[in-house]
Amino acid sequence: MITLKDIVELPSGRIFICETIDSKGDPYIVECTEMQDVTGKENPQVLVTDDVDLIRANLVPHEQKWLMTVSTQFGCGYQCRFCDVPLLPFRGNLSAEQIIEQIDLIIRESPHVRKTQKAKIGFARMGEPALNWSNVLKAIHYLKNHRWGDFRFLPCYNSIVPDTIIDGVGPFEILKEVLRVKEEIFDGFLHFQLSINSTNEDERRWLFHGAKVVSLDRLIEFFDKQTITNRTITLNFICGEGWELKPDKLKGLDPEKFVVKLIPLNKTTRGHRDGLKTFANYRNFDLLKQKGDEIRNLGLNVVVDTIAKCEEAGLCCGQLAHIYMKNTKDK
Ligand code: SF4
């Protein structure tokens, strides 16, 4: 059972701070969110403003797109350097019911949204979905028979792709199972995103704090052999200053299978501790766009995203849960 403890309002959405019981039977705080996209591409000034009214006037209507994220683990089994979830103690996996309850809660707390052609749910707030793949896929499957309103769901599976056996199953079997759900249950409309972040494998491993992950070459080789319809596989690059992103190393990618996504590095406590800085953000978005153009010139599809200033505070996964847990302890 998930209980709502607090709601943090942002100009473009809300973060829900919830309490539930972890795998050891103790109370634990998890986060889930609902947001609207900010139309920064058409109106760049909205990316840098503090003017709440201007931001609200430039939000993509819920009917077109609604973005949600839910947690899949109590903390996370990994320690990526750019992420604040590892500030929380790791207590294992949420059950499928606990994941679905978060979706229920977000929708219950949003009576103003009853219709949307794209309800995108990221199973990527707190936790690495591959470590809890069977419960995550159960929850994704559940969306198909939802009873909440006139929603067309777009589940988003976003993974660092650990190169390890999880519940007796290897990384490629898990990827195949996610693909099966994408193609058979959602007719290809599942956003399948792989966290790449660097074209240098040593650097990737460093960014993932030593976690053994499947190499980019092996991922490309695997997906090249699979049938992929409607939505291509996203190779996601968080762009940090000095992190290797050599377009040459992406040469030969099949645009029918892959899309490359570039996003800025968010400010996090742990990233700051390790001296990580973003390559570009809302103030110098052009730099990121140029990088995108270099890759696009190879004949690849590229999406370049930025984080609006208004979305920075508290947006990073785990930050608010950490503050909330700490405050509760200190009382
Ligand atoms: S980025 Fe994902 S996998 Fe890495 S520590 Fe954060 S939640 Fe875990």
The 3-state DSSP class for residue 209 equals coil
Which of 80-94, 180-194, 201-215, 294-308 is predicted with the least confidence, judged by mean pLDDT? Answer: 294-308
- Give the pLDDT confidence score for residue 227 in this predicted structure: 97
Q: Is the CB of 127 under 6 A from ligand 1?
A: yes
Q: Is the CB of 83 under 6 A from ligand 1?
A: yes
In the reported structure, the alpha carbon of residue 129 is separated from the centroid of ligand 1 by a whole-number distance in angstroms of 9
Atom of ligand 1 nearest to the CA of 125: 7
pLDDT mean over 194-222: 98
Calculate mean pLDDT across residues 85-95: 95
Distance 193 CA to ligand 1 centre (A): 13
Six token digits for residue 1: 């059972």
Non-local CB neighbours of 123 within 8 Å, separated by 6+ positions: 69, 70, 72, 99, 129, 136, 139, 140, 155, 156, 157, 158
∠ Cα 16 182 126 (to 5°)? 25
Nearest to 308 by CA among 6, 14, 33, 55: 55
Q: Rounded to the nearest 10 degrees, what angle do helices 171-180 and 216-224 cross at?
A: 40
d(CA 4, CA 204): 36
Q: Give the E-state strand segments of 130-170 in sequence order.
A: 150-159
Q: Which CATH number does 3-330 carry?
A: 3.20.20.70
Determine the average pLDDT of the residues in 78-107.
Answer: 96
pLDDT classification of 41: cutoffs 50, 70, 90: low
- How many whole angstroms from 63 Cα to the centroid of ligand 1? 30
Which residue's CA is minimally distant from atom 3 of ligand 1?
128
- The torsion defined by the Cα of 329, 108, 309 and 89, in degrees rounded to 10, comes to 30
Q: Are 195 and 180 a contacting pair, CB within 8 Å?
A: no
Evaluate: CB of 304 within 6 angstroms of ligand 1. no
pTM here is 0.94
Ligand 1: distance of its center to the CA of 140 in Å? Answer: 19
| pLDDT at 233 (0 to 100) | 98
Check if 86 has its Cβ closer than 6 Å to any atom of ligand 1.
yes
Q: What sections of 145-284 are H helices per DSSP?
A: 171-180, 201-207, 216-224, 269-273
Atom of ligand 1 nearest to the CA of 160: 3
Q: Atom 4 (ligand 1): residue with closest C-alpha? A: 80
Ligand 1 mean position, distance from CA 84 (Å)? 8
Q: Compute the C-alpha angle 109/122/325, nearest 5°.
A: 65
Report the C-alpha gap between 239 and 198 in whole angstroms.
Answer: 8
Q: Are 196 and 238 in contact (CB under 8 A)?
A: no
Distance of CA 128 from the midpoint of ligand 1 (Å): 6
Cα–Cα distance measured from residue 321 to residue 303, given in angstroms and rounded to the nearest whole number: 30
Residue whose tokens read 């509760």? 328
Domain boundaries along the sequence of the chain: 3-330
Give residues with Cβ within 8 angstroms of 180, minimum separation 6: none
Tell me how far the alpha carbon of residue 85 lies from the centroid of ligand 1, in angstroms.
Answer: 7
Q: Give the whole-angstrom CA distance, residue 173 versus residue 156.
A: 18
Ligand 1 atom 6 nearest Cα: 83
pLDDT given for residue 171 in this prediction: 98
Please identify which residue in the block is written with the tokens 């109106």: 43
